[in-house]
């Protein structure tokens, strides 16, 4: 499907206000004027690109577009920061199942999808945990809970249908009374249970903290599980929260399957393929994930997600969900 450049520009320009918490939307009127100016500049360059493409038509086979040039000095800081507005960070997730216990506890690696294959994160399911528990590290060789490279974790409920993503700070029980050094909840992921056992695509809801007027994540440090993202969402306490959902796939009669338009970034059918959107703008893809080989997946994410949130959402999709399938 081809969409006009204007609709894409509008969705990226409006993305800031869509994810801001209540009370932080006043400055939008100013940014809209700037967005219009940028739109006119960009449209000229896009016209030039289109004319170049027409000239070279039929010579090259279309390839997956790589990630834009992204530079950072501090990896830990980068993976926790929201993606820059207007930039899709294109990555890939590789699953390593080689070895005696890796079929049960695979290693997952998260790289930028560029020529250098810049390493971002690694994750692994912890052994001897009552529920699914994944550690996320900025070092591919150090996946220990006590290591200095530990940046976050993903924890599920007993059924494997609800997940919470934490950063690497302290448990509230061991933190200071004012919770200033307590861990933050970065995301809650809810998979809809398939009670009837009907075949079809998974349904998921992702809840993340809202963004402030400076486009930074509002810190959420619950004192206990009763004040966490999942309970707040369940009780409709949605202040400072953003609710995202997977985009509903369309049934294709020719292939007899549910399909989504991944613009060439996904090449194989899988129950794990999904796109995450906000209800206010279904064309703005916050995150998309899909298979390109048996153990290789593309993962692209946009503002307001950060790399740790996106990688954790992907890890939750790998976890076995008997109740959802």
Q: Is residue 268 part of a domain?
A: yes
Element (H, E) at 53: helix 28-55
The angle formed by the CA atoms of residues 18, 301 and 153, to the nearest 5 degrees, is 100
Residue 290 covered by a domain: yes
Whether residue 174 is contained in a domain is answered as yes
Domain containing residue 261: 75-318
What average pLDDT does the structure give for the chain? 80
Assess if residue 262 is contained within a domain: yes
Give the CATH number, domain containing residue 94.
Answer: 3.20.90.10
Reply yes or no on whether the pLDDT at 10 is more than 70.
Answer: no
Which DSSP string corresponds to 232-295?
A: HHHTT--TTEEEEEEPPPEEETTTTEEE---TTS--S--TT-EEEEETTEEEEEEEEEEEEETT
pLDDT at 55: 47
Domain count for the chain, please give it.
1
Range among 1-15, 243-257, 286-300 with highest mean pLDDT value: 286-300
Residue 14 pLDDT more than 90? no
Q: Is residue 249 part of a domain?
A: yes
256 in any annotated domain:
yes
Q: pLDDT: is 310 or 238 the higher one?
A: 310
Percent of the chain whose predicted confidence (pLDDT) is above 90: 45
Q: What is the pLDDT of residue 207?
A: 97
Please write the tens of the pLDDT for every residue from 65-110.
Answer: 666 677 788 999 999 999 999 999 999 999 998 766 666 788 999 9
Half-sphere exposure of 311 (CA within 13 A, CB side): 35
- Please indicate, yes or no, if residue 17 is contained in any of the structural domains: no
pLDDT at 285 over 60: yes
Q: What is the mean pLDDT of residues 107-134?
A: 91
Band of pLDDT at residue 62, cut at 50, 70 and 90: very low
Q: Is the pLDDT of residue 288 over 60?
A: yes
Cα angle: 35, vertex 39, 44; to 5 degrees? 160
Task: Give 231: exposed, middle or buried? Use CB within 10 Å, 0-12, 13-18, 19+.
Answer: middle
Q: Considering the domain boundaries, does residue 67 fall inside one?
A: no
Find out whether the peptide bond into 259 is cis, omega within 30 degrees of 0.
no
Residue 30 has pLDDT above 60, yes or no: no
């Amino acid at each position: 499907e081809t969409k006009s450049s204007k609709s894409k520009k509008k969705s990226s320009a409006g993305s800031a206000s869509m994810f801001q918490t209540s009370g932080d939307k006043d400055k939008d009127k100013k940014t809209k004027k700037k967005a219009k100016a940028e739109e006119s500049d960009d449209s000229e360059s896009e016209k030039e690109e289109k004319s170049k493409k027409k000239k070279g038509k039929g010579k090259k086979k279309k390839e997956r577009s790589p990630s834009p040039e992204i530079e950072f000095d501090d990896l830990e800081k980068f993976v926790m920061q929201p993606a820059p507005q207007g930039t899709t960070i294109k990555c890939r997730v590789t699953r390593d199942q080689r070895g005696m216990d890796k079929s049960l506890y695979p290693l997952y690696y998260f790289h930028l999808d560029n020529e250098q294959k810049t390493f971002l994160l690694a994750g692994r399911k912890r052994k001897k945990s009552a529920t699914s528990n994944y550690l996320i590290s900025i070092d591919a060789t150090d996946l220990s809970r006590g290591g200095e490279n530990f940046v976050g974790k993903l924890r599920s409920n007993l059924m494997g249908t609800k997940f919470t993503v934490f950063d690497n700070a302290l448990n509230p029980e061991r933190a200071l009374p004012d919770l200033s050094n307590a861990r933050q909840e970065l995301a809650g992921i809810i998979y809809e249970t398939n009670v009837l056992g009907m075949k079809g695509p998974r349904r998921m809801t992702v809840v993340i903290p809202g963004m402030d007027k400076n486009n930074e994540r509002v810190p959420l440090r619950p004192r206990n599980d009763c004040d966490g993202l999942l309970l707040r969402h369940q009780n409709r306490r949605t202040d400072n929260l953003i609710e995202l959902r997977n985009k509903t796939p369309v049934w294709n009669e020719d292939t007899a399957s549910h399909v989504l338009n991944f613009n060439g970034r996904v090449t194989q059918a899988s129950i794990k393929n999904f796109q995450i959107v906000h209800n206010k703008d279904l064309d703005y893809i916050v995150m998309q994930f899909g298979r390109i080989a048996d153990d290789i997946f593309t993962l692209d994410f946009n503002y307001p997600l950060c790399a740790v949130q996106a990688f954790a959402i992907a890890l939750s999709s790998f976890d076995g969900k008997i109740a959802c399938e």
